[in-house]
Amino acid sequence: MNLQSRIANTQKSTQELYNFLTKVENFKELMPEDTKFELRGDDKFLFGLKGMPEIALGLKEKTPYSTVVLGSTSDKLAFTLTCNISEAATGAEAQLNFDGDFNAMMAMMIKSPIKKFLEQLANGIEKI
């Protein structure tokens, strides 16, 4: 299952946005208000969305100023969340991509909450 957010625009430069996103503690600022958030070391965090199981994400890859990849630390819900960063006329823009391998039933259940979550993260990026 592959889902994408809309393109989020920010006044930050690509370097500033990349630096922000590579510090996993900053994801708390991007999360919806009612989301549980707990740091699990320098490169991992746990979050819980309403109606979904808690999920631990860890920093998997980073390409300076263009890509930040977070991945699930659980084999039960294996997925990646990639943020592609590019230059825009007035700063940087970012698009989030969710990629996971789920059975049809699971995909049907989580598609809507994940899509909403991606949009909330995009909104958060625009506010930083």
pLDDT tens digits, 97-120: 999 988 899 889 889 989 999 999
Among candidate residues 45, 33, 31, 38, the one with its CA nearest the CA of residue 122: 31
Q: What is the mean pLDDT of residues 83-104?
A: 95
In eight-state DSSP terms, residue 34 is T
Structural domains of the chain, count: 1
Domain range enclosing 88: 2-127
Which CATH number do you get for residue 83?
3.30.530.20
Residue 16: is its pLDDT beyond 90? Answer: yes
Six token digits for residue 83: 């943020």
Q: Is 35 helix (H, G, I), strand (E, B) or coil?
A: coil
pLDDT tens digits, 25-35: 999 999 888 88
